[in-house]
Amino acid sequence: MTDSRRYSRAKNARAKDTGAMFVRVAWRNLWRRRLRTWMSAAGMGFAIFLVSVSMSMQAGSYDAWIETATSLMAG
């Protein structure tokens, strides 16, 4: 096996280890500051809730607008 192949395999192995290490470090850091983690999760959940409510309201008002516009021109 040549040195370039050995270097390539070692580089690939390090890349896999780096990804796994990144996930482990990220998971550990999530629980380092529990209050901050839960506040961030609650904020994201609230934002998703607001987006879904506003999209539902927009769809409902659009349907009402279409109904009003077509009833006026029904002549």
| Shared domain check, 45 and 19 | no
In the chain, the number of structural domains is 2
| Helix, coil or strand: residue 62 | helix
Which residues make Cβ contacts (< 8 Å) with residue 37, sequence separation at least 6? 30, 31
| Shared domain check, 41 and 60 | yes
**In the predicted model, what is the mean pLDDT of the chain?**
83
| Shared domain check, 75 and 39 | yes
> Using one digit for the tens of pLDDT, what is the confidence trace for 59-73?
888 888 888 888 876
| Shared domain check, 23 and 48 | no
Residue 8, domain extent: 1-32
| Shared domain check, 49 and 20 | no
C-alpha 11/C-alpha 17 separation (Å) is 10
The per-residue pLDDT for 3 is 64
**C-beta atoms surrounding 46 within 10 Å:** 10
> Using one digit for the tens of pLDDT, what is the confidence trace for 17-32?
788 888 889 889 988 9
